[in-house]
């Protein structure tokens, strides 16, 4: 089975994140790492390949720096990677990104595309649905469990109300939620092996992507302006002197919550 896992490098959520003058994320100044939710996608891809046979390809779109994340994904056990790397992609919104990735996927071919449910930077949570729409294949998103039986895929689609069991035939686009599995740590052997694994770098032209449809100019949304949120006015902090609970109650009553 040909499994492609989409992986995004994002700024560390524990670091200070800022926007550049053009309203896009300043990716250069923050430490980058694999989008945490994509680690579950990589793990799920590896488990499916181990159980059913097949090859796991990592697909990443991002600047040169994103090769760090590709390397980590390969050291976890993925077989190879495709890095869509072109300055013309900078500032692409979700619609443009899904277009670019769909062009690469059409080239690599796939039985199963697996994504994390969202990225921790933009948090749009729309990419997998957009890919399914563009590729014309089944959308099996927000999976908390994935089962493959021959050419049928069944997932538990998780929601606030519980879950739905959803089935489709391959090929399909799957997105997985946090905690679907326990992502493995790269072993020393895995790290060494990753250095020899093939990483194909594609430019816009290589992938047949129309440069006018991607990047800041090709995106269908634009940030008009942005501002740091005004800091919250300093609150009242008191030490519990045996009356802490009563004091909170007093505050809540003053604000009409009780």
Partner 1 sequence: MAEVLVLAEQAGGEVKKVTLELLTAAARLGEPAVVWTGPDADKAQQRLAEYGAARVYVADGAEFGDYVVAPKAELLARLVADKAPSAVLTASTAEGKEIAARLAVKTDSGVLTDAVDVTAGEDGAPVAEHANFGGAITTRARVTRGTPVIAVRPNAVTAAPAAQPGAAELVPVSFTASEAAKAAKVTERVTAEKGERPDLTEAQIVVSGGRGTGSADGFKIIEDLADALGAAVGASRAVTDAGWYPHAFQVGQTGKTVSPQLYVAVGISGAIQHRAGMQTSKTIVAVNKDAEAPIFEIADYGVVGDLFTVVPQLLDEIGKRSG
- Which one among 150, 179, 196, 212 touches partner 1, defined by CB under 8 A? 179
189 near partner 1, judged by CB under 8 A: no
Residue 105: which residues within 8 A CB-CB, separation 6 or more?
4, 59, 113, 131, 135
20 near partner 1, judged by CB under 8 A: no
Cβ proximity to partner 1, 82 vs 128, nearer residue: 128
Q: Which stretch binds partner 1 (CB under 8 A): 16-24, 41-49, 50-58, 186-194?
A: 16-24
- Which one among 14, 188, 195, 196 touches partner 1, defined by CB under 8 A? 14
- Which one among 132, 146, 148, 194 touches partner 1, defined by CB under 8 A? 132
Cβ proximity to partner 1, 9 vs 74, nearer residue: 9
237 near partner 1, judged by CB under 8 A: yes
Q: Which stretch binds partner 1 (CB under 8 A): 50-58, 65-73, 78-86, 238-246?
A: 238-246
Query: For residues 192 and 131, is the Cβ–Cβ distance under 8 A?
Result: no
- Find the helix or strand (DSSP H, E) in which 167 lies: strand 162-169
Q: For residues 119 and 69, what is the distance between their CA atoms, to the nearest angstrom?
A: 14
Quick count: other Cβ atoms within 10 Å of Cβ 211? 14
Q: For residues 118 and 159, what is the distance between their CA atoms, to the nearest angstrom?
A: 15
21-40: contacts with partner 1 (CB under 8 A):
23, 36-37
Give the residue carrying structure tokens 């071919």: 109
54 near partner 1, judged by CB under 8 A: no
158-177: contacts with partner 1 (CB under 8 A):
158-169, 172
10 near partner 1, judged by CB under 8 A: no
Among 79, 83, 38, which Cα is nearest to 56's? 79
Q: For residues 42 and 6, what is the distance between their CA atoms, to the nearest angstrom?
A: 8
- Which one among 76, 105, 113, 130 touches partner 1, defined by CB under 8 A? 130
Q: Quick one: tokens of 100?
A: 């670019």
Q: For residues 244 and 258, what is the distance between their CA atoms, to the nearest angstrom?
A: 16
Strands 138-149 and 152-159: antiparallel
Query: For residues 102 and 131, is the Cβ–Cβ distance under 8 A?
Result: yes
106 near partner 1, judged by CB under 8 A: no
- Which one among 129, 191, 193, 211 touches partner 1, defined by CB under 8 A? 129
Task: Name the minimum Å distance from CB 201 to partner 1.
Answer: 27
70 near partner 1, judged by CB under 8 A: no
Task: Name the minimum Å distance from CB 5 to partner 1.
Answer: 18
Task: Name the minimum Å distance from CB 190 to partner 1.
Answer: 24
72-101: contacts with partner 1 (CB under 8 A):
93-95, 98
Contacts with partner 1: how many residues (CB under 8 A)? Answer: 82
Q: Compute the chain's Rg from CA coordinates.
A: 21
Query: For residues 58 and 78, is the Cβ–Cβ distance under 8 A?
Result: yes
């Amino acid at each position: 089975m040909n499994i492609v896992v989409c992986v995004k490098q994002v700024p560390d959520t524990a670091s200070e994140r800022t926007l550049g003058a053009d309203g896009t994320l300043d990716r250069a100044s923050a430490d980058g790492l694999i989008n945490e939710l994509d680690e579950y996608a990589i793990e799920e891809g590896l488990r499916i390949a181990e159980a059913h046979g097949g090859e796991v390809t990592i697909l990443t779109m991002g600047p040169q720096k994103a090769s760090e994340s590709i390397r980590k994904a390969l050291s976890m056990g993925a077989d190879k990677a495709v890095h869509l790397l072109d300055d013309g992609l900078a500032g692409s919104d979700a619609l443009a990104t899904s277009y670019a990735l769909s062009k690469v996927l059409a080239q690599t071919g796939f039985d199963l595309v697996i994504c994390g449910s969202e990225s921790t930077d933009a948090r749009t949570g729309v990419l997998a649905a957009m890919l399914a729409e563009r590729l014309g294949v089944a959308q099996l998103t927000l999976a908390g469990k994935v089962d493959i039986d021959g050419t049928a895929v069944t997932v538990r689609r998780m929601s606030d109300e519980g879950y739905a069991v959803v089935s489709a035939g391959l090929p399909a686009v799957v997105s997985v939620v946090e905690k679907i599995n326990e992502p493995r740590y790269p072993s020393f052997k895995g790290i060494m092996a990753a250095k020899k694994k093939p990483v194909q770098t594609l430019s816009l032209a290589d992938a047949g992507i129309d440069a006018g449809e991607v990047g800041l100019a090709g995106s269908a949304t634009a940030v008009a302006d942005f501002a740091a949120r005004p800091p919250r006015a300093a609150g009242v902090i008191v030490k519990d002197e045996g009356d802490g609970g009563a004091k909170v109650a007093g505050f809540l009553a003053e604000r009409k919550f009780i």
